[in-house]
Amino acid sequence: MIPFTAKVNLPKQGYLNIKDFEIPQGEALVEAILQLKKEKNAVILAHFYQPPAIQDIADFLGDSLQLARAAQNTNADMIAFCGVHFMAEAAKILNPTKKVVLPDLKAGCSLADSCSGKGLAALRAQYPGSMVATYINCNAETKAASDVIVTSSNAEHIIKSLPENVPLIFAPDKNLGRYLSQKTGRDMILWNGACIVHEAFSMDRIAQQLAAYPDAKLIAHPESEKPVLDLAHFIGSTSALLNFVENDAATTFIVATEEGILHEMRKRAPGKTLIPAKVFDESCNCSECFYMKRNTMEKLYLCMKYELPEIEIEENLRLEALKPIERMLEMSVNIK
| Binding-site member from 240, 292, 304, 328 for ligand SF4 (CB under 6 A) | 292
- Between the alpha carbon of residue 74 and those of residues 37, 48, 68, 304, the distances in Å are 14, 19, 10, 17
- The count of residues interacting with ligand 13P (CB under 6 A) is 11
Shortest distance (Å) from residue 265 CB to ligand SF4: 16
Per rule CB under 6 A, is residue 287 in the interface with ligand 13P? no
Which of 203, 289, 300, 311 touches ligand SF4 (CB under 6 A)?
289
Q: Is the dihedral of CA 194, 200, 205, 211 positive or negative?
A: negative
Quick check: 195 binds ligand SF4 (CB under 6 A)?
Answer: yes
Pick the stretch among 8-16, 191-199, 231-239, 299-307 that binds ligand SF4 (CB under 6 A): 191-199
- The span from the CA of 149 to the CA of 217, in Å, is 31
Can residue 224 be called a binding residue for ligand 13P (CB under 6 A)?
no
Residue from 71, 82, 140, 197 touching ligand SF4 (CB under 6 A): that is: 197
State yes or no: residue 114 binds ligand 13P (CB under 6 A). Answer: no
Q: How far apart are CA 172 and CA 136, in angstroms?
A: 9
Q: Output the smallest distance, CB 257 to ligand 13P, in A.
A: 7
**Min dist. Cβ of residue 287 to ligand SF4 (A):** 9
Among 50, 110, 134, 137, binds ligand 13P (CB under 6 A): 137
How many CA atoms lie less than 13 Å away from 71 in the CB half-sphere?
33
What letter represents residue 168's amino acid?
A: L
Of 257-276, binders to ligand SF4 (CB under 6 A) are 258
> What is the sign of the dihedral through the CA atoms of 123, 124, 130 and 133?
positive
Q: Any idea what DSSP says for residue 198?
A: G
How far apart CA 151 and CA 139 sit, in angstroms, is 14
Part in contact with ligand SF4 (CB under 6 A); list of ranges 7-15, 95-103, 208-216, 287-295: 287-295
Q: In sequence order, what are the residues at sequence separation of 6 or more whose Cβ sits closer than 8 angstroms to the Cβ of residue 228?
A: 201, 203, 206, 218, 220, 256, 277
Distance separating the N- and C-terminal Cα atoms of the chain: 39
Q: How many residues does the chain have?
A: 336
Return the residues of window 30-49 that contact ligand SF4 according to CB under 6 A: 49
Q: What is d(CA 12, CA 147) in angstroms, rounded to the nearest whole number?
A: 34
User: Among 139, 238, 296, 332, which residue sits at the site for ligand 13P (rule: CB under 6 A)?
Assistant: 238
Strand positions, DSSP E, 138-210: 148-150, 168-171, 189-190
Per CB under 6 A, contacts with ligand 13P among 58-97 are 63-64
Taking the least distance from each CB to ligand SF4, the nearer of 295 and 332 is 295
Residue 110 touches which member of ligand SF4, ligand 13P, none, C-beta under 5-8 Å by kind: ligand SF4
Report the partner that residue 265 touches, choosing among ligand SF4, ligand 13P, none (CB closer than 5 to 8 A by kind).
none
DSSP state of 60: E
Q: Per CB under 6 A, which of residues 56..95 are in contact with ligand SF4?
A: 84
Question: Cα–Cα distance between 117 and 40 in angstroms, integer?
Answer: 35
Query: Applying CB under 6 A, does 310 fall inside the site for ligand 13P?
Result: no
Residues in contact with ligand 13P by the rule CB under 6 A: 63-64, 109, 137, 151-153, 195, 223, 237-238
